[in-house]
Structure 1
Amino acid sequence: MTINKSVIYLFLASCIFSGLRLNAQENKSNITADPLVQEMLVLKSKMTESNELNERYKIQLFSGSTLEEANKIRDRFKQKYPKHPASIEYQTPNYKVWVGDFRDRLEAERIFIAIKEDFKSSFVFKPR
């Protein structure tokens, strides 16, 4: 079951605004917050952290049935682009060479443009 982000943000905003009470007393303003506001902020930060991890993009360089070929592709990539991490993932029945852990699609596309000449079958994707 997925919850729409806008619904969560709307709920958090309503909790925050309903939890804040302004008490005006003789030119003094006191702001008191409902204790649930702190709990909601902690919950929101946990959700944001987990969403950031799930929203990452990768570039796939290779998909095939032999580990040897996957190793050759990964090693060739590491020689040409040592700054970017590359890994071999096994998803039955294929070995896949994946590059990076990019925060957004734009970041992944920048690297993809640089490597697409050397790795013709590569593409950007978001793993599940």
Structure 2
Amino acid sequence: MTANILKIALLTLIFLSFSEVTHGQNGKVTVDQDAVITKLLEYKKDVKTVDLYKIQLDFGSRSEAEALKSKFLNEFSEWPAEMVYETPNYKVWVGNFSTRLEADIALMKIKKSFTKAMVFEPKKEK
């Protein structure tokens, strides 16, 4: 019986001594990501599945809306602009802002050139 206890104690001592010496692998992971993935993530932000805020510059006839959109894109290239038709007017919408605060900050800059601009939350498509 003492021989068994001695063997168990000896084996335990051996295992404990090896566990102190050996360590897990330490490493550094570097992700080499294609630039296209970053662009895809930006496009994903534009998807209409989340609550977004936009800025409406103005509305009117098609030619007025095209001129307004062109003027906007010449002055502000950091936000996307689109022309939307809602009977009977064409509207120029700007940006995809994830928060109301972000939209309000942009509105302050845009209002200097486009006084009728306003922030709104477009209806979600079902």
Q: Same fold (TM over 0.5)?
A: yes
**Deviation above 2 Å: which 4+ runs of structure 1?**
none
1:78 to 2:73 alignment: yes
Aligned to 1:61: 57
Show the 5 A alignment for 1:37-116.
Answer: 53-64=49-60, 66-116=61-111
Distance in 2 between the 1:94 and 1:54 partners?
26
In structure 2, the residue corresponding to 1:90 is in which secondary structure? strand
In structure 1, the residue corresponding to 2:79 is in which secondary structure? coil
What stretches of structure 1 of length at least 5 have no aligned partner?
Answer: 1-51
Aligned length: 77
In structure 2, the residue corresponding to 1:53 is in which secondary structure? coil
Say which structure, 1 or 2, has more relative contact order (CA 8 Å, 6+ apart).
2
Q: CA deviation at 1:54?
A: 4.1
Give the RMSD, CA atoms, in angstroms: 1.6
Q: What is the TM-score normalised by the length of structure 1?
A: 0.57
Q: CA deviation at 1:113?
A: 0.3
Distance in 1 between the 2:72 and 2:49 partners?
24
The letter for the 2-side match of 1:97 is V
Distance in 2 between the 1:92 and 1:99 partners?
19
| Structure with bigger gyration radius | 2
**More strand as a share of residues:** 1
Q: CA deviation at 1:123?
A: 0.2
Q: What is the CA deviation profile of residues 62-121 of structure 1, one whole-angstrom value per residue up to 9, with x for unaligned ones?
A: 111x11100110000000001110000000111000000110100101100001010011
Distance in 1 between the 2:78 and 2:63 partners?
23
The letter for the 1-side match of 2:79 is H
What stretches of structure 2 of length at least 5 have no aligned partner?
Answer: 1-47
